Structure 1
Amino acid sequence: MKLWMGPAGLHIEPAQTRDADTIAKLHTMGFYRGWPREDFVSYIAGEGTPLFVACDAKRKIAGFSMLRIVGDEAELMTIAVDPKWRKRGVGVALLRAMLDDLLMSTAKRLFLEVAADNVAALRLYAKFGFQKVSERKGYYPRPDGTPATAIVMARDLG
């Protein structure tokens, strides 16, 4: 089994089906329209959608990340960290583990989308060599009805 060290006694490993409930809850905490548990069950079981969890020895999950790999391209589908674990290096550790895992894949380039007003995420991605490719105006729905712009970013792998 793949295993990476994380901060504060956490480690990162591939998600298991039993994690789907917690992952769906974390996703809903981090995004206006969270994805349902059933979607995560399918992603965990599927090919081409590696999903990783940052957890402690008792498997209490602090965050997760998910990729989609198609041919020589990969997409960071989502990354979410429990609010009580934010600003403690969990997102950084998840991103490092994903990049490490991608070295063993066919992917040559990694893409992602991030809300233009998510300053912390933009800073994190820039730190890891992602560069802005384009924008998608009005891409993300917001609770107040005003859509947010998505910034599309990419970086080469290896």
Structure 2
Amino acid sequence: MTWFLRRAGLGDLADIMRIETATFANDAWSEKAMAGELGSEHTYYLVAERNDTGEVQGYAGLLAPAGSRQGDIQTIAVDEAARRGGLGRALMLQLMGEARQRGAREMFLEVRADNPGAKRLYEELGFEILGVRPRYYQPDGVDAIVMRATLEHPIAGVAEEGAS
């Protein structure tokens, strides 16, 4: 399976919210908050469409004001049917590239402590653990692992079925 990544807009809000609420049942962003993210000049959001059907199967967002030396992964989610195919990696690589273009030299993110697959992906992409925010994700009370990556060297990769 392959995907086409493109910049997300307000017209993608329903597809993004479908994945958001399915992935983050207890702590999903509100539609209003997500719409604000999609419309901000300081953010960059992507959606991933399946090449064969056009179905949106993932999205990711970056906060990186132009000229800032830092970027922050706001959110990323992949539809359950498209997981384990390299789509999360492809979305992350695109956001990391966009952050570099905006002048960022480091990126930050938080990942749920109960999501070892995502943590492993971020480590493979060069993120290191900075610390833990206890009970950050509510209402579940799950810790957030805070991670950072330097963006001095680009990382190459592709999204293909069977890739990690």
TM-score by length of 1: 0.88
Runs of 4+ in 1 over 4 A off after TM superposition: none
**RMSD (CA atoms):** 1.4
CA–CA separation in structure 2 for the residues paired with 1:59 and 1:41: 21
* 1:52 paired residue number: 46
AA at the equivalent of 2:97: D
2:69 corresponds to: 72
Runs of at least 5 residues in structure 1 that lack an aligned partner in the other structure: 1-7
Question: Does 2:84 correspond to 1:87?
Answer: yes
Cα distance in 1, alignment partners of residues 18 and 29 from structure 2:
9
User: Secondary structure of 2:101's match?
Assistant: coil
What are the within-5 Å matches in structure 2 for residues 6-155 of structure 1? 8-31=1-24, 32-57=26-51, 59-70=54-65, 71-142=68-139, 146-155=140-149
Distance of 2:141 and 2:63 partners within structure 1? 25
Deviation at 1:101, TM superposition (A): 1.6
Is 1:23–1:37's contact at 8 Å kept on the other side of the alignment?
Answer: no
* 1:28, distance to aligned residue in structure 2 (A): 1.2
Cα distance, 1:40 vs structure 2? 2.2
Q: Tell me if structure 2 keeps the 8 A contact 1:113–1:151.
A: yes
Distance 1:69 1:120 in 2: 25
Q: Give ranges in structure 2 of 5+ residues lacking alignment.
A: 153-164
Provide Cα deviations, 1:52-108, integer angstroms capped at 9, x if missing partner.
Answer: 011134531010000111421110011000011111111011111111222211211
Bigger RCO (CA 8 Å, 6+ sep): 2
